Chains A and B, each alone.
Chain A
């Protein structure tokens, strides 16, 4: 059973997420950068140039991105002696129902790989991921904060209820095949283990209050069709609060799924490179600890109409409630359901130029590379309402064959001027990398719409 206070906790969590942060899954600085092992998770067809790699457990890859569309943290939480109610109202006025908050945190527990032979590189690992999105349900928030009294004749849309939160572990195995000096492609098989899924989308219906004829007001629930699904949130009708329970379920828990990544790198010439990948084409089948509820129907409420008929006495309130339940049933079930992963698409075009150098490769050969490169990347992710896009221009420079840097300029839903920087450095067999975007807002992230960071440490063996 879903209790009101528990729903309140979830809603509060989602609101906090909305108020505080937003993560997107675009890793524009990391993508196709410096042949890092982590680029294989963004494109299994990325080129590799080493014999073996292993990430430092829990430290090889941490990524997160902060972003908020149409308002910033300081709009709400700046210590400016303004009423918090006024600030919330102002923010609500500015956001639209298309505005959303995304969240994504990814922590690699294990990431390793090795050359099978001259053509094939096998990589595998396990990472934990928190991923969520909530669209701004303006009408619902208005109802909660103001009620319906000031909004006669307004249809409050329940279709604005749209959210999805996932906590999962991902075990993955990938193979990258170098077909020729021009073409490398690869694929990755993923086993998802869901610890938590909360989702509701494709809802419909309106709630309207109008002046009535026989009554002062008439209220309509029109074409209501709402469904909410959860798995992992309740066990034996109890709210799961233990962090350990969630963590345990991320590794071969009861709710499993499968997915694939595919990608390629193609050199049109020595200097021109084209890449593409599709990530997380998959689903999770939720079978255990499932709780879903749905409401469907229409209802017209005109209050209580007293008949003053002593020959047919009945309880009007009970009659109304029964009629409501009949026309507008709340259906709860524990039936299994499938949730789709947010599939991502990456493409890039890169032109290399400048001083030509050579670097040592795993097979005792040398690979030529240019010191500099410019290009652009396009990122897209399939979301509940509409796909999201990000276009990135970038400049890469290799100071030596061990030290690489990348600067990006990204246009996305959050900003038209997001500048990111990244570096990768190899010291002996240890590789360090780090990247951050929206650096122009680093002096005041509370006034920033987005910020992302990735960093990690790997052990990379070239021979």
Chain B
């Protein structure tokens, strides 16, 4: 490659024509870039009517949502992935406890990472949750292609009012994605 031919020529030139301090160019190979990227992740606002079957009208105790999702666009980036911090802020205006499950899946819907269940107590309007996923201990996480979220009402005897538009479960979250890359 042209660059490989030009650089030695230039180095040779300066070596011949000059004196230098002790230089150690190979140290550039030790350079590590460790960027941390923060991005918005999943958010939603749930009202009581969303826990009712839209056809039968029967109350549900579990609702599920899924989406395709990748942690990094290219294989090159994926291989530099070292850690993910998941952070969530939840406002629960319901008089019920909820459990929220966040699950990462691969393209065949197989589990790649399962976050701890998030249990939100009734009327807790300032709930924070965070969990770190280390890629070293969970290498399958790099194959994540989908995200699934399951919300469960913990008490099966709960009766919700589908016409109540003022009670909400607000969820917002973010990811902090850590990379580690040598030049």
Contacts and interface: CB of A to CB of B under 8 A. Distances in A.
A302 B43 contact: yes
A307 B32 CA distance: 40
Contacts of A148: 36-38
A408 to B, nearest CB: 18
A85 B35 contact: no
Nearest to B147: A304
Given A145-B33, A217-B174, A315-B68, A303 B22 contact: no
B39 to A, nearest CB: 7
A156 B66 CA distance: 32
A74 B69 contact: no
Interface string A65-87: 01000000110111100011100
A219 B21 contact: no
B36 A146 contact: yes
A173 interface: no
Contact of A305 (B32, B44, B70): B44
A213 to B, nearest CB: 9
Contact of A446 (B20, B36, B44, B69): B20
A233 to B, nearest CB: 11
Interface residues of A, number: 70
Interface stretch (B9-17, B109-117, B132-140, B157-165): B9-17
A302 B18 contact: no
Interface in A1-17: 4-5, 8, 12-13, 16
Given A4-B74, A317-B69, A436-B17, A216 B3 contact: no
A443 B40 contact: no
Given A147-B179, A216-B43, A306-B149, 18 more contacts: A77-B24, A78-B23, A79-B24, A88-B31, A144-B35, A216-B174, A217-B38, A301-B39, A305-B42, A307-B44, A308-B50, A308-B65, A315-B67, A315-B68, A436-B17, A443-B18, A444-B21, A451-B18
Interface of B: 1-3, 5-7, 10-11, 13-14, 17-25, 27-28, 30-44, 46, 50, 54, 63, 65-70, 74, 76, 87, 89, 146-147, 149, 151, 172-174, 176, 179, 183
